[in-house]
């Protein structure tokens, strides 16, 4: 089990970019923190999401 934005999600042996793809999240304008540490976009394909981890996915919103 992992926690994504505070909600439980199934654990799959996957990378950050695979998690985003599985959840249908476009990578443009997105920041990801894994257990409180920001993961650089260039490291998403090689960063595995461990079982029990907490992921925060934040999307930038333009507005005024």
Residues 10-56 have pLDDT tens digits of 999 999 999 999 999 998 999 999 999 999 999 999 999 999 999 99
Tell me whether strands 30-34 and 37-39 are parallel, antiparallel or unpaired.
Answer: antiparallel
- The Cα–Cα gap between 53 and 45 comes to 17
Structure tokens at 45: 């394909």
Q: Domains in the chain, please, with CATH?
A: 2-59 (3.10.20.30)
Record the pTM: 0.88
From residue 7, give the alpha-carbon distance in Å to each of 1, 2, 13, 17, 28.
Answer: 10, 8, 18, 18, 22
Cα separations in angstroms, 28 against 8, 12, 41, 50: 24, 23, 10, 24
Give me the pLDDT at residue 64, please.
62
């Amino acid at each position: 089990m992992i926690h994504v934005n505070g909600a439980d999600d199934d654990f799959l042996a996957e990378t950050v970019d695979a998690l985003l793809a599985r959840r249908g999240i476009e990578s443009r304008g997105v920041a990801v923190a894994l257990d409180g540490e920001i993961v650089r976009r260039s490291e998403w394909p090689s960063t595995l999401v461990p079982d029990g981890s907490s992921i925060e996915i934040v999307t930038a919103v333009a507005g005024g």
